[in-house]
Amino acid sequence: MLLFYVSMAQAQASVWQVFLERGDNTDTLSFVSLTGEPTTQIEIARGERHTVMDQGVLYWSNGEALYATPEETEPHPFIQADGAQRVEWVLSPDGAQIAWTQTTTNAGQLTTVTRAAAIDGSDARIVFQDGPRPGVRAQPVAFGATNDVLYMDYQPDGLAAATPYSEYAGLFAVPLDGDGPPELLPDEPGCYCGAGFGNGRFLRLTVSEGAGAFGLTLQDLFSGTSSTIEPLPLGAFTQGGDVLLSPDGTRAVYALAQSRDFGTPAQTVRSVYVRVDLDTRTQEQITVPQTLYLRPVTWTENSSAVLMTSPVRPGTWKLDVQTGRLDLVAEATYIGRIGG
């Protein structure tokens, strides 16, 4: 049974929440209306990277990009592998644009082709090509605040499988209007650690000296100005990632972790979560160390809380970013919101 984190009093017309429930051989998507219509469920193939776009869910399964709506599941109409071994995508904050990268491998050499298009597939064009090169692929990360630039990363292939959170090696910007070449972002390449984008701001974790875990560099991508945020005394936590900026760009959360045997049956992840105030340039630990392996998904409740899900267990949790309180709010895994 699903538990809803938005009350009916807050609901708007034609707004749906989408949840994922894992099965033994197949998965189930639940489209839950916030306006009283019956919940619609559809059985889909086991997959990963489920992303709400337009009126359905885009996901990757058995080497194919599929698109599920409350009525059916079919191959996505314009995002396809076309012989690539890997396809990755990212949506613009307003949901109007999508970019995707096809990665092909040949004798250990990686070649990537990145395209962008409107959400209906119109205006599709190649915006970046890279390779062949050994062991490194280009990966889309985020759209700029006005959808005129795509931020990407030079990702060491296979390294992400050994880390619990999203981390980046060398971030760069690709103009989507074709006006000018791609350019590395300030101080890139940096450490292999977390970064995030939001409302024209770029927040990058940096390796600190001494007892601190990570410092932060905040770049204003409109003005070109930069400032630093001092590290917390959490040097035992050696990995930092999953940086999530609020929609208005005033705060962020990220995870610090100690991990052992990650990706194996014996894996352990011990983590804390940190709140960053981007206006006062301060950061604060808001949770005690815990072994519940969660990843932030989206901000909610006027940027006072973050919804979180786990890669290893069902459910959706809400993190109050002021108090650090963590509550289970749904028994299924939250995917996203359609409409509203």
* Residue 71 maps to a domain: no
Q: How many domains does the chain have?
A: 2
* Residue 95 maps to a domain: yes
* Residue 302 maps to a domain: no
CA 269 distance to own-chain centroid: 19
Same domain, 263 and 177: no
* Residue 272 maps to a domain: yes
* Residue 57 maps to a domain: no
The secondary structure of residue 168, as a DSSP letter, is: B
Domain final residue, candidates 191, 217, 252: 191
β-bridge pairing 56-61 and 48-53? antiparallel
Q: Which domain holds residue 267?
A: 193-291
**Per-10-residue mean pLDDT for the chain, 340 residues long?**
41 76 92 84 94 94 93 94 94 95 93 96 95 93 94 89 86 89 92 92 86 85 91 84 92 87 69 94 92 92 94 94 94 90
Same domain, 233 and 203: yes
- CB hemisphere CA count around 54 (13 angstroms): 14
**What's this model's pTM, rounded to 2 decimal places?**
0.90
Sign of CA dihedral 89, 92, 98, 99: negative
pLDDT at 179: 76
Same domain, 215 and 168: no
* Residue 257 maps to a domain: yes
Same domain, 167 and 207: no
Q: How far apart are CA 307 and CA 33, in angstroms?
A: 18
Domain final residue, candidates 291, 307, 335: 291
Same domain, 184 and 274: no
pLDDT at 107: 87
Helices assigned H by DSSP within 25-178: none
Same domain, 183 and 208: no
pLDDT at 78: 95
* Residue 309 maps to a domain: no
* Residue 39 maps to a domain: no
pLDDT at 269: 78
Structure-token pair, residue 140: 């889309």
Query: Are 278 and 201 in contact, with CB atoms under 8 Å apart?
Result: yes
